[in-house]
Structure 1
Amino acid sequence: MAIELTPDLIRLQTASDEAWAEVRENPSDEGWELWRERAAEVQTAVTEYAKAIGEPRNQVEAELKKAVRHLGEEES
C-alpha cells in the first residue's frame, strides 16, 4: 500500500534537499545551519505524520524521499 504524502511533507523535504544541494556546492557555516534546520523540520514532520497514520516512520521517510527526488528528476 502506497503512503499518501501531504503537500507540507513534500514542501519540507524539497526545502531540505535544496539546502543540502547548496551546502554541497557552496559550503558555509550558514548553509550548514540552514540545512540542519530544514532536515530537523522534515524529521519532526515525518515522525508526527507516521504516528498519525499508523505507519512505520522509516517507511514514510523512504516514500517521501523517493517521491521528492522523482519529482526533481522530472524537472531536469
Structure 2
Amino acid sequence: MIQRVDIPDRIIALQQAADAEHAKLAGLADAERETQWKHWYEAAVTVQAAVTDHAREAGLSRSALESAVKKAVRHPAPADG
C-alpha cells in the first residue's frame, strides 16, 4: 500500500518551476539549448534538495515523496465540485 504523503506547497511550486524550465527546452538548439538546460538543471537540483530535506525531517521515504510530488504536479486530482 502506498503511504499518503502531505506535500508542502513550496515543494509543489519548486517542482512546477523545474517542469516549466524543462518544457522550455523544446525546439532549442546549440547555445540556447545549453543555456536553458542549465536553468532546468539548477531548478531540478533545487527541488531534489528540498525533497531530500523534507523526507529526512518528516521521516518519509525520499522516493515515495518524490513520486508523490511528481504525481501531484503532473497528474493533479480533479477539483471537487
Shared fold, TM over 0.5: yes
Q: Residue in 1 aligned with 2:17?
A: 15
Unaligned residue ranges in structure 1 (runs of 5+): none
Query: How much does 1:43 deviate?
Result: 0.6
Q: Residue in 2 aligned with 1:24?
A: 26
* Corresponding residue pairs, total: 73
For 2:9 and 2:46, the matched residues in 1 are separated by: 14
Unaligned residue ranges in structure 2 (runs of 5+): none
Question: 32, 45, 49: which is aligned to 1:40?
Answer: 45
Q: Residue in 2 aligned with 1:57?
A: 62
- The structure richer in helix per residue is 1
For 1:37 and 1:31, the matched residues in 2 are separated by: 10
> Per-residue displacement from partner, 1:16-42 (whole Å, max 9, x unpaired)?
001111113434111000000000001
Percent of residue pairs identical: 34
For 2:41 and 2:72, the matched residues in 1 are separated by: 21
Which residue type is aligned with residue 18 of structure 2?
S
Structural RMSD (CA): 1.6
Which residue type is aligned with residue 16 of structure 1?
A
For 1:56 and 1:10, the matched residues in 2 are separated by: 17
